[in-house]
């Protein structure tokens, strides 16, 4: 797992003079928003009939949403008709399927500890985007030597482009596992 503190030099390139702790805090917030918006931290879990439907959530993470649920035959179930999802990440299966496979997303908690282990793929592939997100917030701080609203807006757009790119990658990976459904036209 990667440490977010390894991205501090990238933040300093964008926002000179910032203290390490300030950069670390904003990197944590940028990483959290990146993961939430991109839905890149996807997980899969099988739940058998009679089991509690609590989804496994990594330490220092929270449940975001269920993308889709497949029954034992690989058919996609319908939310509210075949299963229910609570806000804390518990899936209640209503259908008669003996086992279901749940595809869901998690994101880091809002306040992360300093020794937080971030996802390697995200940190390695979108390091610049996460640093852009941290820098965009730092550059908006009033009465500092590095305050620059125009640069802040520029880095915010780059950060948004970064998590949109990650969202596309995540959706394409999930679509490979989702069964294609035939449409019936009348």
Residue 146's domain spans which residues? 2-39+119-174
Q: What pLDDT score does 146 carry?
A: 87
Q: Is the pLDDT of residue 62 over 90?
A: yes
Q: Alpha helix locations (H) across the chain?
A: 8-14, 20-38, 120-125, 127-138, 149-175
Q: What is the pLDDT of residues 11-26, one digit of tens each?
A: 999 998 899 999 999 9
180 in any annotated domain: no
Do 47 and 97 fall within a single domain? yes
- Residue with the two structure tokens 């179930």: 77
* pLDDT (mean) for 142-157: 93
Q: How many domains does the chain have?
A: 2
Going by pLDDT thresholds of 50, 70 and 90, the confidence category of residue 113 is confident
Q: Is the pLDDT of residue 88 over 70?
A: yes
Cα 137 to Cα 103: distance, rounded to the nearest angstrom: 32
Do 48 and 27 fall within a single domain? no
> 108, 130, 151 — which closes off a domain?
108
pTM of the model: 0.88
CA nearest to 32, candidates 120, 133, 125:
133
183 in any annotated domain: no
């Amino acid at each position: 797992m990667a440490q977010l503190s390894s991205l501090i030099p990238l933040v300093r390139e964008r926002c000179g003079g910032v203290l390490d702790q300030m950069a670390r805090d904003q990197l944590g917030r940028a990483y959290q928003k990146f993961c939430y918006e991109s839905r890149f931290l996807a997980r899969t879990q099988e739940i058998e009939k009679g089991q509690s439907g609590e989804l496994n959530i990594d330490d220092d993470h929270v449940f975001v949403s269920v993308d889709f649920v497949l029954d034992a035959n690989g058919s996609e179930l319908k939310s509210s008709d075949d299963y229910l999802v609570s806000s804390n990440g518990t899936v209640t299966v209503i259908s008669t399927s003996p086992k279901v496979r749940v595809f869901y997303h998690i994101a880091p908690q809002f306040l992360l500890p300093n020794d937080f282990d971030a996802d390697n793929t995200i940190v390695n592939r979108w390091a610049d985007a996460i640093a852009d997100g941290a820098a965009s917030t730092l550059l908006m701080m009033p009465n500092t030597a590095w305050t620059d609203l125009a640069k802040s807006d520029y880095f915010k757009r780059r950060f948004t482009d970064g998590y949109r790119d990650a969202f596309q990658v995540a959706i394409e990976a999930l679509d490979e596992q989702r069964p294609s459904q035939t449409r019936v036209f009348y």
